[in-house]
Amino acid sequence: MAGKPFPWQRDELHPAARRALSVCGPLAFLGLWQLFGAAGWLGATPSPYAVARALVRLVTHGDPFLKKTLWAHAGASLLRILCGFAIAAAAGTGLGMLMGWSRVARQMLRPVVEMMRPIPPFAWIVLAILWFRMGDAPAVFIVFLGAFFPVLLNVASGMESYDRVLGEAAATLGASPLQVLFRVALPAALPHVFTGLRVGLGVAWMSLIAAEMVGVGGSGLGLLIESSKAVWDLEYAVAGMVVIGTVGLLLDLAMRGMEAHFLRWR
């Protein structure tokens, strides 16, 4: 309690209270949403009930405009996300290690990376089409761009911040530079690597709408949101948003699980 003047800053919560709170939050959110909607304060925003109805309809019949079920939309998007993210994770970790390890590489790459990082995924649509034509390839490219920079920068900063004395000690004991890189520096940077992967996966989902504006086939959650906007079936747009949020949350939980497993030495 010392130094924590307010009860909500207490370090420890009873596990039951913790569980109850994490259910109460979303329930309160849904309740307020339904209430404000019923009071007419949200204009044409669909109510949680209408969104739930659209979700059920997506599962049983598919949407009314693209005529695809929820599984088709979510599956197509998930495939694009996982492909783009896998490439970004591999490339970002590799290049990030190089940037963190070599001062020359860092000096050369930093300005390029820092310049490209803030460019919104939407701005890449035209170039993605010109380079990767239509369909899934340009979509995967846009997801890749979203996920790549967070991975790269986190890995690089992890590699920069590890205690170099450890590396020097290992070298004195006869470790080769590659052994120092993979056996000392990389494990030390692992917490940063996981942070980068988790942030990258989140940004990958955030790039999905832009990614699916490149002329993908008839399914995808981003496409679902865009086309329901066109005919003003907003409950399907919000249903698509809910699915993106849910799948994103589940993937993040999976990543946290992996992180806890690989970093159990901490």
Partner 1 sequence: MIRGSGSSSVRRMFAAFLSAALALFLLLSATGCGDDSADGPAVRLGHLRSDLHQLAFYVAKEKGFFEDEGLRVEVVGVYASGPDEMAAFQAGALDAGYVGIAPAMAAVANGRADVKALAQANLNGSALVVRRPTSIFGLEDLPGHRVAVPNPGTMQDLLLRLALASRGLSLGDLQVAYMAPPEMLSAMFSGSLDAFLAWEPFVARAEAEGLGSVMLDSRLIWEDHPCCILAVSGSFLKDRPGEAAALLRAHLKATAYINEHPDEAVRMAAEFTGLSEEVAAAAMRRITFTGDMNAQAVLEYARFLAEEGLAAIEDPAAFVRDFLVGQ
Residue 38 near partner 1 by CB under 8 A: no
What lies within 8 Å, CB to CB, of 118 at 6+ separation is none
Member of 103, 117, 164, 229 binding partner 1 (CB under 8 A): 229
Annotate 103-171 with three-state secondary structure.
Answer: HHHHHHHHHHHHHHCCCCHHHHHHHHHHHHCCCHHHHHHHHHHHHHHHHHHHHHHHHHHCCHHHHHHHH
* Residue 1 is a binding residue for partner 1 (CB under 8 A): no
Distance CA 150, CA 171 (A): 30
Let me know: does 168 contact 174? Beta carbons within 8 Å: no
Q: Are 92 and 151 in contact (CB under 8 A)?
A: yes
Region from 69-77, 201-209, 215-223, 254-262 binding partner 1, contact rule CB under 8 A: 215-223
Residue span binding partner 1 (CB under 8 A) among the ranges 9-17, 61-69, 160-168, 198-206: 61-69
Among 145, 190, 216, 244, binds partner 1 (CB under 8 A): 216
Query: DSSP characters for 26-74?
Result: HHHHHHHHHHHHHTTTTTTPPPHHHHHHHHHHHHHT--TTT---HHHHH
Instruction: Kindly identify the residues of this chain, within the stretch 77-136, that bind partner 1 according to CB under 8 A.
Output: 125-126, 129-131, 133-135
Stretch that binds partner 1, among 73-81, 173-181, 227-235, 256-264 (CB under 8 A): 227-235
User: Is 33 a residue that touches partner 1 (CB under 8 A)?
Assistant: no
Q: Closest approach of Cβ 227 to partner 1, in Å?
A: 5
Is residue 234 a contact point for partner 1 (CB under 8 A)? Answer: yes
- The span of 91-99, 168-176, 208-216, 255-263 binding partner 1 (CB under 8 A) equals 208-216
CB atoms within 10 A of CB 31: 12
Give yes or no for a contact between 221 and 73, defined as CB atoms under 8 angstroms apart. yes
Q: Is 215 in the site for partner 1 (CB under 8 A)?
A: yes
Question: Which residue of 17, 59, 108, 231 would you call a contact of partner 1, by CB under 8 A?
Answer: 231
| Residue 93 or 219 with smaller CB distance to partner 1 | 219
Which lies closer to partner 1 via its Cβ, residue 159 or residue 223? 223
The residue (of 156 and 223) whose beta carbon lies closer to partner 1 is 223
Task: Write phi, then psi, for 225 (nearest 5 degrees).
Answer: -65, -45
User: Residue from 1, 5, 261, 265 that binds partner 1 (CB under 8 A)?
Assistant: 5
Q: Which of 193, 196, 201 is nearest to 248 (CA)?
A: 201
If binding is defined by CB under 8 A, does position 42 make contact with partner 1?
Answer: no
Give contact residues for partner 1 (rule: CB under 8 A): 3, 5, 43-44, 64-66, 125-126, 129-131, 133-135, 213-218, 223, 226-227, 229-234
